[in-house]
Amino acid sequence: MALFGNYKYKDKPDLLPDGPEKNGFVIFWEIIGRKFGKLIIVNLIYFALTFPMMIVPFLNVSAYYNMNTAATPEAVVDIFPGASLLIAPMTAIPPTVSAVMLIVSVILYGPATMGLTYILRNFAQQKHAWISDFFSRAWSNFRQGLCFGLLDVLVFVSLANGILGNLPGAGNSVAIMRALCIVALVIYWLMRHYFYTMAVTIDLSVIQIIRNSLMFVLLGFWRNLVAVAVSLGLFFFVFLAVPLITVFAWPLIFYSFTGFAVVFVCYPIIDKYIVSRVNGENKEAE
């Protein structure tokens, strides 16, 4: 896999074109080190824009956990204590204002993810990206970003309700429905590894991106497993380890680090099956 394969530095004038190859794992951490400051900045921007909507899953999961496990009020458990420290100030905001913030956050979530993904993709390719590219790409990809953002919300809310909610029926039928929802959620999560990266890389329609992403679930199966493992590992470390880690890591590095890892691992699939073929066709046409 490319993550552990050999890489050559790109666009580095201080290195010879035929310079030594380096292991992809080493390159990954070298890029993190070089771009660490920018990763923090773009994470702060993304966190500020999406925080009102991102707190909803934490609140719902905590409520579901306590509803199904706590026998008495004294037994209520805060399974995301660090997140709760950041969420607490939101309780002082009037409900009307909170609702407006939530709606705005849902609208900006997709375009903001486009801007973040563009910067992370450039970093993964060892190309330059300005912080301002976050906003310019969010704007230029606003319609597709809005579409994928709303699709994310719709799919995740619907499937989460199917997994955790009260479904009609009983016995095996409910178990089968929950299992199907889990399978659909996993497949959609794997498809998301490619949605935004494809959108900021090549001119494709929303339907084409979704269709290609579905194929990449299988074509990039092992890469997808690596991306899932990294994402889950970071989530557990940031949100379930030590509250103090959550307080700092969530606003400062969680989104950019996780996103960069996913793009770094999964972009070669897009490059192999789409970008390289398009470039080859353009060269033949010339």
Q: Residue 1 falls within a domain, yes or no?
A: no
When mean pLDDT is compared across 8-12, 18-22, 151-155, 221-225, the lowest value belongs to 8-12
Only one residue has tokens 């375009």, namely 111
What range defines the domain where residue 245 resides? 6-281
Q: Residue 62 falls within a domain, yes or no?
A: yes
Q: Residue 252 falls within a domain, yes or no?
A: yes
Q: Residue 286 falls within a domain, yes or no?
A: no
Domain count, the chain: 1
Q: Residue 247 falls within a domain, yes or no?
A: yes
DSSP reduced 3-state for 6 = strand
Residue 283 predicted with pLDDT over 60:
no
Q: What is the pTM of this model?
A: 0.86
Q: Residue 71 falls within a domain, yes or no?
A: yes
Give the pLDDT confidence of 10-55 residue by residue, as tens digits. 444 444 455 556 677 889 999 999 999 999 999 999 999 999 999 9
Mean pLDDT of 99-103: 94
**pLDDT at residue 3, as a whole number:** 44
Q: Residue 250 falls within a domain, yes or no?
A: yes
- 46 HSE (CA, 13 A, CB side): 31
- Other CB atoms within 10 A of residue 94 CB: 8
**Distance (Å, whole) CA 25 – CA 23:** 5
**Distance (Å, whole) CA 189 – CA 143:** 21
Q: Residue 30 falls within a domain, yes or no?
A: yes
Alpha-carbon distances, residue 235 vs 77, 163, 180, 191, 238 (angstroms): 19, 20, 24, 19, 5
> What is the average pLDDT score of the chain?
86
Q: At what angle do helices 142-164 and 172-199 cross, to 10 degrees?
A: 160
